[in-house]
Amino acid sequence: MTNLITLQQRAQQGEKLAVLTCYDASFASLMANAGVDAILVGDSLGMVIQGQRSTLPVTLTDMVYHTRAVAAGAPDTFIITDLPFGSYQASPEQALISASALMSAGAHCVKLEGGAVMASTVAFLTQRGIPVCGHLGLLPQSVNTLGGYKVQGKTDAAAQQLIADAELLAASGAAMIVLEAIPATLAAQITSSIAIPTIGIGAGVDCNGQVLVLYDMLGLGKPPRFSHNFLQSANSLHEAVTAYVDAVKTANFPTEQHSFK
């Protein structure tokens, strides 16, 4: 079974980590057989499964349900689950209760959004045996504050803040950090400045790994610019996921076309 130490060792040895979102047992089993390193049970399910306009309506009950389904389909694959909006921001104690529910459902790591403001929560959780994945850059749960789904870290000040946030999260015990929709050069700087893996989504090829929303990778709906339709040139869903894993592992995805300057 893949575990956190395994993933960190792979990244340290220069192997790219291929991650995909998943929300059910059938796709989880397919991903495990296709060689995905880790599965993210993302609160993106609010948009791609529930038809919501953002991730904000997703509840902890929703995340527990989908985590349990994914864990049943891929029992030997490392599972990261998003802490949904409103389930962890109030206090570290609230985060512990929510994270415990997700871990009991089958998650091996929980993901939360935010930089310095979440550092004490990251430390609180990790000190109690709960691995944490940070999330910096475009924060979908803060879409109303950010004014939409926009590229982050474009100014010098914003870039320096993201670097400082990443270093602080790492120092607080975060196991890895997702970098979303930031300039590729900035993502490379962050990756080289911390000792834990970075997982990019619209953050360039120099991150230690990549993650995409499953439905975007299959070309469903209106995929963002940083995604790619791997089903278009495949003969099956399994072949599409395998092609994604191979493209990530060989650093053929993302290309400049899928990155921001």
Looking at residue 27, its pLDDT comes to: 98
Q: Which CATH number fits domain 4-258: 3.30.70.1350, 3.20.20.60, 1.10.10.10, 3.40.50.2300?
A: 3.20.20.60
> What are the tens digits of pLDDT across the range 33-66?
999 999 999 999 999 999 999 999 999 999 999 9
pLDDT at 10 (0 to 100): 97
Binding residues: 43-44, 82, 111, 113
Q: Which residues of the chain have pLDDT under 70?
A: none
What residue segments make up the domains of the chain, in order of their start? 4-258
CB atoms within 10 A of CB 236: 10
What's the pTM? 0.97
CB 197 within 8 A of CB 176: yes
Q: Residue 150: what pLDDT?
A: 87
Name the binding residues for 3-methyl-2-oxobutanoate: 43-44, 82, 111
pLDDT score for 36? 98
The single residue of 167, 180, 239, 256 carrying the catalytic annotation is: 180
Binding-site residues for Mg(2+) sit at: 43, 82, 113
* 3-state helix vs strand vs coil in the chain, percent to 5: 45, 15, 40
Q: Which tokens go with 9?
A: 């060792």
Residue 239 designated active-site: no
